Chain A
């Protein structure tokens, strides 16, 4: 895993320029007003800072000159005052009002663009554990980075102008010092960039360790772990891990700290101080030798300090650009990422059949080569999630897909919904390869309740209508869908009915549903939309026996004219299907009706017997039959 702690990537100069240019263009495109004003504001403020040095210089010269005039000095001060009065007004308004408002506008536009893109991404991208780290983190950063690029560019130009003019002044005062300052600024650029690299490498190395501390933090603060901690000695165990991890963190910090010290604390720091005292002493000697007047001396010292100050700022800005570039690179990559699950045709004929022909699928090769799934954590031994599957589902069929954990049932559903494309083989909709259809249009044909369904923090009605709830027009649809999924009893206890907001995260009057209730809302989704095909992935897993029974009856009753695919490892749920497909380790091993499969006495029969034998002879039939 040495790949993990990779060194900071080297970027060519042109990459850095092109990435930063990209960010500048984005800001100029989304918020041109902000772009222009930010340049104006920053340039003015930078020039004011440089003017401060001139101000001191002229003023001190005037004060100490033999023929100095108080009136001229007062005029210098007056001009400076008026300039400050005006510029500070602009400055405050710009940063506190204009920039505040406009940068939010920029964030919105960038968010929107990114979200639209995320929405189109292949699901496979989300399977990759590195996806979140690599992309999301960088993208999030880019939101603030974009504006910083503008800011840094403007500041850089401003400081460069300021420095150049101050250098001009310095050259006229004492060329030797001007050269010394120039050399020291070059050295500081080198130091800063080396320090920056160290910093980057340290962060890279230390990040996994912080993640561990984050995990330990979660163990203590999440309710999930609370019970385990209270009834075992796990507290001591985790505290020990915490102590160990802290030692590792310190080691890492020491390692880089020492390097940093040699470079920065010792090298750079000493050079800075030497320059400072050296120039001071040099000027004193000049003063002693009588080459310099007092006024000239004081003024020169002021200019020297000002230049150092400006140079340091300039250097810091230069260092920022390669950093920005790293993040912007990810951002660009993301925006240019082409989804592989695509298709043109949005016009689908009414559903007749869905056929899987020689379909194989493995998670490893599904995604974009760069972000492919390295290892499917749930099935180490069986990399190929589906192997050579052939099956046909016709309109009106009631089909069950059964099998043990890890048999590939859920993967099959994801392929049927075209959340992934098969590694080999084809899936045909009415005989046409589904890759020819637009994924969104194709998915409209299928209503699915996922095993790991999610409800959103919005109203029940919006959750049922998948965000398309339009008040009264859809009210009846929602109510009847909730009725079909057996949610009505709970609905009646909610004062706001279908407008009740789910979760208390954002609304104090929101409702937290239990697992079973939430599942019913998720199921109502498929009733609300008129999908020809309905897929139920373990629809009753969170329900108690009574509710499970009622729900199954209800689902069957309300989907009579539809094509239904049930997935379950509870065979009690699936025996009602016309055709049962038994999967084992990614392969379709048996198919047929419940009776036919029992007669076949294969894997299905074995599985069914194991589940049912505990009911047999324990009263259910003994007492009554």
Chain B
């Protein structure tokens, strides 16, 4: 119930906000593609006036002139000139709309999308975990082009209708002021148009969650990733049953709202076409035939103009509803663009030679979570030191790494670099001190070169090749026709190469080798690799990161042996810390975990001794 009220509240944004959002959208276009705006409105005015002159005014002129038998030659001249002007104008305007307008459209779309992209790259990572924020953001990204266009079209439609309304009303007024009464009627019936539009929105709103479920079922049948599971069980029957239920719900929704739509729509259309148009026609015919104080040409105009007027008013109502709909959406865009990232730049300078990162009494809780993900963490990382971070799933290893990278700010406590709280440092500079491979590393659709450097600057081939060699993937890359300039993935290029997961991970590791940053973070770097590859990788990594501060997370404790220090995390706390030997000596949780894993390799002698 409360939810419903909230939804309602969300729906009704103030008219002022609607206007301001509309201006905002128009301004995006005006800023980036002023020519588009000018041409758009100019075309509307041009076509509006030409249409009126050719179809209404000229006709009246002809008929009235013929009836009074005066100056038909000047009428012919008028039509000829009008025709020539219109044809020439049209040829020009059409050229704009069929050729250069595409560039203008791209201009404002890329401007708008670019703003969103840039913003997305700045907001803190936590935003990605907030579904509400995320939804708005994805919607903004996907629809911004269409929404701006539709705002534009609605504005333009208004302009167009206002021109036509003014011209036609003036004409009617000149012919007989009483006819304006008929022109007013559509406004009265407009109420029903609004009701009809609203009923449609209600219907679509009610359908949304059901349609989402239908889409989901569709995906499970069509996407390859589900195909295996769908073939081995009877899940597909359940999903088909779901589908039937969903469609029953959709039908009920349509039955419920469709009746209302039909009723309101009927009243409105009858009001418009029967009462208004035919009413005015009857009146005009009466004036022409019975009281004989209206010219036939004028009667003809009435027939056309009343129709134009009522349709214009009808459209204006639709446009107003459109503005409101677009304004809702633009509200989301603005919310997103106005969002101030919580992780902001500090104003202290980065130390030239960063040396030590220190975490002091740090606690952190994810938004909406009931428990701290990290509790009172104390640790430090020096240049030249290798720390292994181990622990069960969900013990907080990855979260801790994210804190070190300042992807989040701590709820309590601090992270400092050489004594300066990292919140006082410029974000990009601070993060620049790290290179990392994440568990869910990504390969970008770009050349191998770009995937290694992750930047636009030109890089030495040598450095990239060395990094790839160290990551153990150069042989594979060298085998491609274009070597390090080969495009990865087929997103951009049909000749692009797809790498296996293991190979992709090696490329992302090459990033670490390439960038000689003071600190390195490796989150389960070998999880997708087979044992031999894992082994060589580890050796290379240890050699290449000599002298840098390294933190690595791994489930395979065999690698922890190589670390200068092992930190064991349990439930968001560091419970054991020391060298591998010290922790084995201590015979605590770490030692137990290590033996469990080793036992499988070394046979029963280990467990036998436990």
B window 211-226: CB within 8 A of A: 212-214, 216-218, 220-226
Report yes or no: B606 in contact with A257, Cβ–Cβ below 8 A: no
Name the distance in Å between A247's Cβ and chain B's nearest Cβ. Answer: 9
A window 557-579: CB within 8 A of B: 569-573, 575
Name the distance in Å between B512's Cβ and chain A's nearest Cβ. Answer: 11
Which residues from A are CB-within-8-Å of B103?
Answer: 250, 253-254
Report yes or no: B262 in contact with A257, Cβ–Cβ below 8 A: no
Q: Which of A73, A93, A231, A456 contacts B434 (CB 8 A)?
A: A231
Q: Chain B: which residue is nearest A549 at the CB level? A: B596
A window 404-449: CB within 8 A of B: 404-406, 414, 417, 419, 439-440, 443, 446, 448
- Chain B 419-439 near chain A by CB (<8 Å), digits 1 or 0: 000000000000110111010
B window 572-586: CB within 8 A of A: 580-581, 584-585
Report yes or no: B120 in contact with A97, Cβ–Cβ below 8 A: no
Q: Which of A88, A274, A514 contacts B87 (CB 8 A)?
A: A274
Q: Which of B79, B137, B407, B610 contacts A230 (CB 8 A)?
A: B407
Report yes or no: A127 in contact with B285, Cβ–Cβ below 8 A: no
7 contacts between A and B (CB under 8 A): A56-B303, A250-B102, A280-B54, A295-B296, A453-B229, A542-B393, A620-B606
Contact A547 B232, CB 8 Å, known A261-B99, A273-B90: no
Which residues from A are CB-within-8-Å of B250?
Answer: 104
Report yes or no: A610 in contact with B254, Cβ–Cβ below 8 A: no
B window 477-501: CB within 8 A of A: 479, 490-492, 494-495, 497-498, 500-501
Name the distance in Å between B422's Cβ and chain A's nearest Cβ. Answer: 13
Report yes or no: A506 in contact with B114, Cβ–Cβ below 8 A: no
Contact A237 B454, CB 8 Å, known A280-B58, A281-B79, A404-B530: yes
A246 vs B54: C-alpha distance when bound (angstroms): 40
A614 vs B557: C-alpha distance when bound (angstroms): 9
CB of A70 closer than 8 Å to a CB of B: yes
Name the distance in Å between A109's Cβ and chain B's nearest Cβ. Answer: 9
Please tell me the size bucket of the interface on A.
35 or more
Report yes or no: A571 in contact with B232, Cβ–Cβ below 8 A: no
A window 583-614: CB within 8 A of B: 607-608, 610-612, 614
Binds B, one of A144-152, A176-184, A218-226, A384-392: A218-226
Q: Chain A: which residue is nearest B238 at the CB level? A: A467
A514 vs B394: C-alpha distance when bound (angstroms): 8
Q: Chain A: which residue is nearest B203 at the CB level? A: A100
CB of A36 closer than 8 Å to a CB of B: no
Name the distance in Å between B302's Cβ and chain A's nearest Cβ. Answer: 11
A557 vs B118: C-alpha distance when bound (angstroms): 54
Name the distance in Å between A211's Cβ and chain B's nearest Cβ. Answer: 7
Report yes or no: A220 in contact with B141, Cβ–Cβ below 8 A: yes
Report yes or no: B440 in contact with A458, Cβ–Cβ below 8 A: no
Report yes or no: A377 in contact with B559, Cβ–Cβ below 8 A: no
- Chain A 271-297 near chain B by CB (<8 Å), digits 1 or 0: 001101100110011011000001101
Contact A448 B405, CB 8 Å, known A70-B285, A294-B66: no
A298 vs B497: C-alpha distance when bound (angstroms): 69
Contact A257 B247, CB 8 Å, known A56-B303, A60-B300, A269-B90: no
Contact A223 B530, CB 8 Å, known A287-B72, A625-B606: no
CB of A615 closer than 8 Å to a CB of B: yes
Report yes or no: A217 in contact with B83, Cβ–Cβ below 8 A: no
Contact A126 B224, CB 8 Å, known A119-B230, A234-B454: yes
Report yes or no: A546 in contact with B102, Cβ–Cβ below 8 A: no
- Chain B 75-105 near chain A by CB (<8 Å), digits 1 or 0: 1100110110011001100110111001100
Report yes or no: A238 in contact with B444, Cβ–Cβ below 8 A: yes
Given contacts A223-B129, A452-B228, 4 further A-B contacts (CB under 8 A): A111-B243, A115-B218, A506-B209, A546-B593
Report yes or no: A264 in contact with B243, Cβ–Cβ below 8 A: no
B window 519-566: CB within 8 A of A: 527-533, 535, 555-559, 561-562
CB of B19 closer than 8 Å to a CB of A: no
Report yes or no: B247 in contact with A104, Cβ–Cβ below 8 A: yes
Report yes or no: B106 in contact with A265, Cβ–Cβ below 8 A: no
Which residues from B are CB-within-8-Å of A232?
Answer: 454-455, 511
Which residues from A are CB-within-8-Å of B128?
Answer: 223, 226
Name the distance in Å between B605's Cβ and chain A's nearest Cβ. Answer: 5
Which residues from B are CB-within-8-Å of A462?
Answer: 235, 238
Q: Which 6 A-B pairs have the closest CB atoms?
A: A466-B233, A265-B94, A572-B600, A614-B558, A377-B498, A612-B601
Contact A405 B110, CB 8 Å, known A1-B495, A224-B440, A231-B434: no
